[in-house]
Amino acid sequence: MPEPEAAAVSAVAPLPAAVPELGDGPARRLGLLFWLSAGWLALIVLAAVLARWIPGLPSPTETGVGPARQAPTAQHLLGTDSLGRDMLARTIYGARVSLVVGFTSITAGLLVGGALGVLAGYYRGRFEAVVMGAMDVLLAFPALVLALALVSFLGPRLGTVSLAIAILSVAPIARVIRANTLTFAQREFVLAARTLGAKNRRIIVSELLPNVLPAALSFALVAVAVAIVAEGALAFLGLSVPAPQPTWGSMINEGRTLLQQAPHISFVPSGAMFLTVLALNFAGDSLRARFDAREGRL
């Protein structure tokens, strides 16, 4: 997952678990903010999935459903854009692109990077050195350039954007998962399983995976946020799903030249993306503070 710039994948380097000291002890509950974040995410996912059946919601690509560049009114709750398209509809349909790219790319990245990380952390030795060396080389590449090049040569489509971001997410995910695996691979229950004659495969699947998974999933939430930002950056540069299909990044770019007359055209999708990224970061960090065994640097 990238830094749009930094936002782009290299920025994806795992940030330290947020504010661990703010809580009150290890048995901390997930607080109000976590549930607010979860609520926003649920809302945006539901709206994106059910977009077609929301009563009164015009098509996101139909022009002239209202006067152009209108600030929010009762008919158009979030106003209209430069072609008189409904901003609420465009924001909701734009969420589809962000969510699909975010979740599919990170799911793919988690499968590949997670597998590499677990195997490297369990088998160690030369295999680990080669895999992690390759990941370091991958991380040395400017993430956004890789994504730009891939998408522009393969053609800007939902699939290629997801693929590019998935490739970029493999290295950071593999590193985090490996670090988590290392802390468990030395534990007594793994030794016990081995003493009882369990094969490597069994140890990995039934001893290590259940322990690594919670931390992996909480990291994945933060990774989805980075992927959404990366897709936004690509769309901002005009290299995501082609117009007229709306995406948040391209909507922000469209409004850029109209800041004087109609700033809401940029600000509405910005707000949606900000809240979504914030919610994903917050949910991911809260979960990680509970599950991640890797607090030190490994």
Partner 1 sequence: MSARFLLKKLVQLVPVLFAVSALSFLLLNLLPGDPTVAIHGPTATQESRTRLRHELDLDKPLPARYATWLGHSVTGDLGKSYVSNQPTTEALKQRLPVSLELLLLSQLLALAVAIPLAILAALRPNRLLDRVSTGSAFGLLAIPNFMLGVLLIYLFAVRLHLFPATGYTRFTENPAENLRSLVLPAVTLGAAELAVYLRLLRTDLIATLQEDFITMAKAKGLPTWRILLRHALRPSTFSLVTVAGLNLGRLIGGAFVVEYLFALPGIGALTVESIFKRDYIVVQGTVLLVAVAYVLANFCVDLFYGFLDPRVRHARA
Taking the complex as a whole, the smallest distance from the CB of residue 62 to partner 1 amounts, in Å, to: 26
Taking the complex as a whole, the smallest distance from the CB of residue 43 to partner 1 amounts, in Å, to: 17
Of 103, 105, 104, 129, nearest to 116 (Cα)?
129
Taking the complex as a whole, the smallest distance from the CB of residue 209 to partner 1 amounts, in Å, to: 29
What residues have CB less than 8 Å from 282, skipping those under 6 apart? Answer: 18, 33, 34, 37
- List residues bridging with 3 in a β-sheet: 5, 6
Q: Which is nearer to partner 1, 39 or 210 (CB)?
A: 39
- Whether the CB-CB separation of 223 and 169 falls below 8 Å is answered with yes
Q: Which is nearer to partner 1, 80 or 98 (CB)?
A: 98
Q: Which is nearer to partner 1, 14 or 58 (CB)?
A: 14
User: Taking the alpha carbons of 4, 9, 10, 14 in that order, is the dihedral positive or negative?
Assistant: positive
Taking the complex as a whole, the smallest distance from the CB of residue 266 to partner 1 amounts, in Å, to: 5
Q: Which is nearer to partner 1, 23 or 58 (CB)?
A: 23
Q: How far apart are CA 200 and CA 198, in angstroms?
A: 7
- Tokens at 15, concatenated: 């940030």
Q: How far apart are CA 30 and CA 53, in angstroms?
A: 33
- Tokens at 48, concatenated: 């994106």
Backbone angles phi, psi at 225, to 5 degrees: -60, -45
- List residues bridging with 6 in a β-sheet: 3
Taking the complex as a whole, the smallest distance from the CB of residue 23 to partner 1 amounts, in Å, to: 10
- Whether the CB-CB separation of 164 and 152 falls below 8 Å is answered with no
Q: Which is nearer to partner 1, 185 or 287 (CB)?
A: 287
- Whether the CB-CB separation of 220 and 213 falls below 8 Å is answered with no
Q: Which residues bind partner 1 (CB under 8 A)?
A: 4-7, 10-11, 13, 15-16, 18-22, 133, 136-138, 140-142, 144-146, 148-150, 152-154, 225, 229, 232-233, 236-237, 249, 252-253, 255-256, 259-260, 263, 266-267, 270, 273-274, 277-278, 281-282, 297
Q: Which is nearer to partner 1, 46 or 154 (CB)?
A: 154
Q: Which is nearer to partner 1, 39 or 263 (CB)?
A: 263
Taking the complex as a whole, the smallest distance from the CB of residue 220 to partner 1 amounts, in Å, to: 17
- List residues bridging with 86 in a β-sheet: 80
Taking the complex as a whole, the smallest distance from the CB of residue 166 to partner 1 amounts, in Å, to: 16
